[in-house]
Structure 1
Amino acid sequence: MATSKKTFFFGEDHLKAGLAIEIAKGTIKGQISAKARKRIRASYKAVAQIVEKGKPVYGINTGFGPLCTTKISKSETKILQSNILKSHSVGVGPPVETDIAKLMLILKVHSLAKGYSGIAEATLDRIVWHINNDAIPVVPSQGSVGASGDLAPLSHLFLPLIGLGKVRYVKKVISTAQLYKIYGLKPLELGPKEGLALINGTQFIAAHAVKVLDRMKACLDQADIIGAMMIEGLQGSVKPFFKELHQLRPFKGSIHVATRIRFLLEGSEIMEDHIDCEKVQDPYSLRCIPQVHGASRNAWLHLKELLEVELNSVTDNPIIIDEELTISGGNFHGQPLAMALDYACLAASELGNISDRRIYLALEGNSPGVPKLLMEETGINSGYMILQYTTAALASENKGLCFPSSADSIPTSLGQEDHVSMGSISGRKAQKVLENVEKILAIELLTAAQAFEFRKPMKSGLLLDKVHKMVRKNVAFAEKDRVFSDDIEKGIDMIKKRTIIRTVQQAIQRHKLKIDSPYEDHFGAY
C-alpha cells in the first residue's frame, strides 16, 4: 500500500487509494509540481478570456442548474462563485470523520491540478495548506444525491476558503475566522468558475470508497485467518481448499482464499489428527469459505479497479479544454462508484453473514471434543450462547442495509438533474456495514480461540499458533460465565487495529515464508 517515495505530485503522479491514505496520514507529502502549475495557469487564463469575450459558458457567466440560461454580467462573475458555496452549503446530519474530509481535500486537489477546471493556483495552494496543517473543514454527512457532484458536502468543505464554515484543528472544532487569526490568513476572492469547480465532483463518494477499500481489505484478510482458526477448532477438512478443486472453477478470489487457508493451516497437528476421520463433508460455512470469501474479494477487486480510474479523473463541469472548447458533460455523475460501492456493501455483508454461521456451528457441540456452547459446565453457565445473538442481530441489520442506493433516483434542480446516483448514500452505508462486520469478526475470533483450546495438547501450525497466543494476551479462556461484552470490546479493538494481520505478517517475515497464490498482487497493495 505504501510507497518508498516521500512526495506525491498532485495533478501529475498516478494516485491510488493506499497513496491517498498515506498522504492523509502525513507519511507522504503532497505538493503541486511545476508541470501541473503550468497547466493550471493556462486553464485559469482560458476562463478569464471567456469572461472577457462574454460568450455564454455554463457556470462561468451563467447561473447554475435550471438557471443555466440566466446571463451573469462580467462584474458579477466573482460574486456568483462565492454565492454558490454559500447557497449549496445545505448539508445536515453528523459530520463525516475527519480523515474522510481530509481525503476529500486530497482527491479534489489532484483532480483540479490536472488543469481542466479553470481554478487559480492560489486556491489550490490554500487547499494544500489546509491538508499540510491538518486544518480540516467540518462536513455534514447528509445532503448529497451523488450527481452534479457531491454539491452540499463539497460546499461545506470549501467554505473556509472564503472565510466561512468551521474546521477541526488540534482536535477542536473552531470557526475559520479563528483559524485564520492564528495564522494571519485572509479569505480568498474566488475567480470565475472557481466556486463551481470546487463543488462539482465525486470526492465525497470517492473518499468514502477509499475508506471502504481499505477497511474491507482488512476484514477480508482477517476473515480468512479467523475462518482458518475455526476450521482447526472444529477439525474441519482441508480437502475443500486443495488447488485441484479450484483450478476447475478458477475465480481469482476463490483460488486466492483457498491458497491462503492452506498456507495458514500448514504444519497443524490438529488437522493431521483429523485426516482419517469418517466425516464425509463439513457444513457450507467451513467448506465454502473459498467460494464465499472469494466472491467478496472479487467485489473488492472490482471496486479497487474502478476507484483507481476515478481517483485520476477530472470530475467537475464544465471542462475547460481551451479557450475555444468548453464541454458541459456529466463526469460528475457518481453512478460508476455508486454501483461498485453497493456491490462492495453486499459483499461485506456476506462476509459477516457466513462468519455468524460459523459461530453458530461452533456452539452446537457436534464437533468431537468441543463442548456445546464452548464450555464444559453449562446449565449454570450459558457459555458463548448469547454472543451469537449479537452476531445474528448485526448480520440482520446488515441485510437491511444492502438495498442498493444506486437503484434509486429522485429528480433535482427542477428537473435539470433528472437522474442522480445516490452514491454518497452507497458510500456511507458500506461504511456502516463494515463497522458491523468488524464486530461480527471480533466475536468469531473469540469463539474460534475458545474452540481452539479444546484441541490441546495438539498444536496448531506456526501462524495460527501465533494468532492464538496473541488473542490470549488480550482475552483469557472462559471456564465460566463473565461479562462477555468486555471480551467483545477487546476483540473489536484487535480487529480495528488489525492486530492479527500484523501477527501473521511478522511471523511470515521472521520465518521467511512465502504464500504461493498466483493472485497475491491482485489482492495485495492498493
Structure 2
Amino acid sequence: MVDDSPVVLDGQSLGADDVVRVARYHAPVALHDDGLARLDASWHASQRLVVRRQVYGRTTGVGANRDQIVSTAGWAEHGLRLLRSHAGGLGGMLPEEQVRAMMVVRLNQLLAGGAGVRRAVADALLAALNSSCYPGVHEYGAIGTGDLTALAETGLTLLGERYWLGSTQTPDPIELDSGDALALISSNALTIGMAGLAWQDAHQLLKATHVIAALSFLAVDGAVEAYDERVHLGRPHPGQVAVAAEMRRLLGAPSRPPARIQDPFGYRCFPQIHGPAVDAATDLGRVLDVEFNAAAENPLIVADHFGPEDDAAYHHGAFHSAYLGQALDRLRLSMLHTGHLSTARLATLVEPNFTGLRPFLAEGVPGSSGVMILEYSANSALAEVRTLAEPASIGNAVVSRGQEENSSFAFQSASQALRSLGAFRLVLACEVVAAVRALRLRGITPDTPALRAAFEAAESKLNPDMSDRQLSPDVEVASSLLDDFASY
C-alpha cells in the first residue's frame, strides 16, 4: 500500500522515497514554515543586493554576456527574455513522473534558501503538484550544468505562456519579478529528480536479485560455502559482505547437499560481482541526499542574520553535476556485471548437467524447446544494458563562447539509467521464469520462510503449463513480481 500522507518540504530533509511518492503516486505536498522563512529571507536579501552591486543574471546578461549590464528599467523584461530565449528544448515530451520529480526537487531546493525567488513561485509549483498538472518539458537540452531548457519551459508555463498537461485544474499565472527567471532555472532539478527515480528502481531490483539468485542456486544444488562469513571477512568490501550475508539469510542451511565442489561464477562469485552494484547504489543515494536539498543556485543569495549590510551574492560553480553524473555512470556499469551473472545462471538452468532435467527444462515430446528462447531474449535485453553502460561523463562540450568549458552530461547519465533499468528488469524476469520452472520440475521448495514466500508468490502467478508455448506473458508476470521480491 502506498503511503498517502503529505510530503512536507523544508529544504533540508527530502529523500528519494519522498520524490518517488510525489512523482509516481501523486502524494500531496506541503511546505514547512522554516523553509518558507529561508525562501523569504533570501528573496529580501536579493532585493537589497541588486541596488548595491552587480548580480549575475539579475542586473547582467548570462553566460558570455555576464559583462553586459542591464538597465534598471529593463530588469523585468530581461527576466522574461531570459526564460523565452532559454526555453529551447528539443525532441519529445518527457513522461509525467519525470517532470513531477523535477518540480518537487526544485521546490524543495528553493526552500533551502539560496535562490532569492519570491514566495509566489513556490506557491505556484506547490499548486501544480497538488492539482496533478505539469508543464510540457522537452527531452533534450541539458548537458549537466543546469537543466536550463526544462526549467525555462516550466517558468513560462507558470507565467501562462505555455500549456499545462494533466489536470485541468491549473495554477493561476504568476507575475515575473526581475530576479525570478535565472533563480528558477539555475538548477539541475530535472536530472536530480530522474536520478531519484532511477535510484529507487535500482535499489528495488538489486534487492530482488538476491532472491532470484537464491532460487536458481537451489535449482542447481549450489554450494553454500561460497557465502560463508569467514570467506568474506577475509576481504571485507562492504557490498560483498552484505550480499553474502543476504544469501545466507535467504538460503539458510540447504537440506540438499551441493552437487559440485565449487560452482560457476554466477553462484560462487555472486557477492564479489553483485557487491559493487550494491555499493554503487549506496553511494548514489548519498549523492542524492545532498542534491535534493542543495542550495546550489548561481549566484547563491545569502541573507545575513547580523544585518542587511552583510547580505551576500556568491558567484560560483556549485551547479556542476560531476558528482551525480559519475555516480550514475558507476551504477549502470556495475549493474551490467550483475546482469552478466543472471544470464550465466540462466545458462546453467537449461543445462541437464546442472539440473538433472531435460535440456531447456522441456516437457512433452522429444525435441521440445522448453525455455530455450529465454536465453536469446535475456541476452538481447542485456545488450541494451551493455550499450547504455558507456559512461556519459566521458563526453564534454564547450559552450557560451568558451566560458563554460566542461560539462558533466549528468542528464544523459540519468536518462540512460532509467532506460537501462527497464532492460535489466527483463533480464532478471527471464531468470525467474526458468528458476521457478526448474524448481517445480524438481519438486524443490525453499527451506527458509523468506525464500519460500517468494517462490510461492511466483508459483501462484506463473503459468504451470510446461508445454511449448509463447513465454512472453510469463516474463511480463515475472517482471511484475520483482518489486515484491525486494521485500522478502
Shorter-normalised TM-score: what interval? over 0.9
Correspondence 1:295 to 2:293? no
Contact 1:20 1:103 in 2 (8 A): yes
- Give the direction of change, closer, same or farther, for the CA distance of 1:407–1:261 in structure 2 (3 Å limit): same
What aligned pairs does 1:80-229 form with structure 2 within 5 A after superposition? 80-147=78-145, 149-170=146-167, 179=168, 186-229=172-215
Residues in 1 aligned to 2:50 and 2:443: alpha-carbon distance in whole angstroms: 79
Partner of 1:346: 333
Verify the 8 A CA contact 1:118 1:193 in the aligned structure 2: yes
User: Shift of residue 371 of structure 1?
Assistant: 2.2
Query: How far, CA to CA, are the matches of 2:389 and 2:37 in structure 1?
Result: 45
Q: Given the alignment of the two structures, is residue 20 of structure 1 paired with residue 6 of structure 2, yes or no?
A: no
AA partner of residue 126 (structure 2): V
Q: Structure 2: which amino acid aligns with 1:332?
A: F
Whether the 8 Å CA contact 2:135–2:165 is kept in 1: the answer is yes
Do the aligned partners of residues 363 and 77 (structure 1) sit closer, same or farther apart at CA in structure 2, a change above 3 Å counting?
same
What is the CA distance between 1:187 and its match in structure 2? 2.0
Query: Which SS does the other structure have where 2:117 is aligned?
Result: coil
1:27 shift after superposition: 7.5
Q: Contact 2:23–2:98 (CA<8 Å) still a contact in 1?
A: no
With over 3 angstroms needed to count, the CA separation of the structure-2 counterparts of 1:229 and 1:303, relative to structure 1, is: same
Q: Name the SS of the counterpart of 1:116 in structure 2.
A: coil
Q: Which residue of 1 aligns with 2:265?
A: 284
Q: SS at 2:442's partner residue?
A: coil
C-alpha distance 378-359 of structure 1, shift in aligned 2 (>3 A): farther
Kept in 1: contact 2:26–2:130 (CA 8 A): no
Q: 1:379 to 1:303 in 2, by over 3 A?
A: same
State the alpha-carbon separation in 1 of the partners of residues 241 and 386 from structure 2. 27
1:52 is paired with a residue whose SS is coil
Deviations 1:252-299 (A, max 9, x none): 1111111111111126xxx32224x5x211000011111111111011
Q: Is structure 2 residue 359 aligned with structure 1 residue 372?
A: yes
User: Closer, same or farther in 2 for the Cα pair 1:160/1:457, shift >3 Å?
Assistant: closer
| Separation in structure 2 between the aligned mates of residue 462 and residue 132 of structure 1, nearest angstrom | 41
**One-letter code of the match for 1:371?**
R
Q: CA deviation at 1:245?
A: 0.8
CA deviation profile, 1:304-339 (whole Å, cap 9, x unmatched): 111111112112111112465211101111111000
- AA aligned to 2:190 is F
Preserved contact between residue 144 and residue 321 of structure 2 (Cα < 8 Å): yes
Distance 1:378 1:429, change over 3 A: farther
Deviates more, 1:291-300 or 1:37-46: 37-46
Look up the match of 1:517: none
Residue type at the aligned position of 1:259: A
How far residue 205 of structure 1 moved from its aligned partner, in angstroms, is 1.5
**In the TM superposition, what is the alpha-carbon distance from 1:118 to its structure 2 partner?**
1.2
Partner of 2:63: 65
CA distance in 2, matches of 1:141, 1:5: 31
Whole-angstrom CA distance in 2 between matches of 1:45 and 1:133 = 29
1:405 and 1:426 in contact (8 A); partners too: yes
* Separation in structure 2 between the aligned mates of residue 458 and residue 84 of structure 1, nearest angstrom: 64
Match of 1:10 in 2: 10
Distance in 1 between residues matched to 2:110 and 2:257, nearest whole Å? 60
CA shift, 1:479, in A, is: 2.3
Of 225, 232, 242, the match for 1:256: 242
In structure 2, which of residues 426, 448, 452 is the aligned counterpart of residue 465 of structure 1? 452
Give the conservation status (yes or no) of the 8 Å contact 2:83–2:155: yes
AA matched with 1:107: V
Secondary structure of residue in 1 paired with 2:217: helix
The structure-2 alpha-carbon separation of the partners of 1:480 and 1:466, relative to structure 1 and needing over 3 Å to count, comes to same
The one-letter code of the counterpart of 2:99 is A
Change (3 A) 1:362 1:125: same
Offset of residue 368 of structure 1: 4.6
Question: 2:148 touches 2:186 (CA, 8 Å); kept in 1?
Answer: yes
In structure 2, what is the equivalent of residue 231 of structure 1?
217
Q: CA deviation at 1:28?
A: 5.6
In structure 1, which of residues 274, 281, 284 is the aligned counterpart of residue 257 of structure 2? 274
How big is the shift at 1:5?
A: 7.7
The alpha carbon displacement at 1:150 in A equals 1.1
- 1:101, 1:334 → 2: CA distance? 19
1:201 is displaced (CA, Å) by 0.9
The verdict on how the C-alpha distance between 1:379 and 1:23 changes in structure 2, with shifts beyond 3 A counting, is same
Query: In the aligned structure 1, how far is the partner of 2:416 from the partner of 2:248?
Result: 33
- Distance, in Å, in 2 between the alignment partners of 1:57 and 1:6 is 37
Alignment of 1:30 onto 2:16:
no
Structure 2 gap segments, 5+ residues each:
none
Partners of 2:191 and 2:281 in 1: CA distance: 16
Mapped pair 1:438 → 2:425: yes
Shift of the 388–368 alpha-carbon distance from structure 1 to 2, 3 Å rule, reads closer
Instruction: Give the direction of change, closer, same or farther, for the CA distance of 1:466–1:38 in structure 2 (3 Å limit).
Output: closer
> In the aligned structure 2, how far is the partner of 1:451 from the partner of 1:287?
20
Q: Which whole-Å CA distance do the structure 1 matches of 2:396 and 2:444 have between them?
A: 59
Contact 1:233 1:452 survives alignment (8 Å): yes
| 3-state DSSP of counterpart to 2:352 | coil
Conservation of the 8 A alpha-carbon contact between 2:355 and 2:438 = no
Q: 2:466 matched to 1:483? A: no
TM-score (norm 1): 0.87
Go from structure 1 to structure 2 and tell me whether the alpha carbon gap of 1:60 and 1:403 turns closer, same or farther (over 3 Å shift): same
**Which ranges in structure 1 are unaligned for 5 or more consecutive residues?**
171-178, 505-526
Superposed CA RMSD: 2.2
Deviates more, 1:236-245 or 1:478-487: 478-487
* Equivalent in the alignment of 1:500: 485
SS of equivalent residue, structure 1 residue 63:
coil
In the comparison of the two structures, how many residue pairs are matched? 482
| DSSP 3-state at the match of 2:396 | coil
Change (3 A) 1:116 1:379: same
In 2, Cα distance between equivalents of 1:328 and 1:3: 40
Q: Which residue of 2 aligns with 1:516?
A: none
Q: Conserved in 2, the CA contact under 8 Å of 1:7 and 1:30? A: yes
Distance 1:265 1:120 in 2: 56
Report SS of the residue matched to 1:201. Answer: coil
Given the alignment of the two structures, is residue 42 of structure 1 paired with residue 28 of structure 2, yes or no?
Answer: no
Which moves more between the two structures, 359-368 or 427-436? 359-368
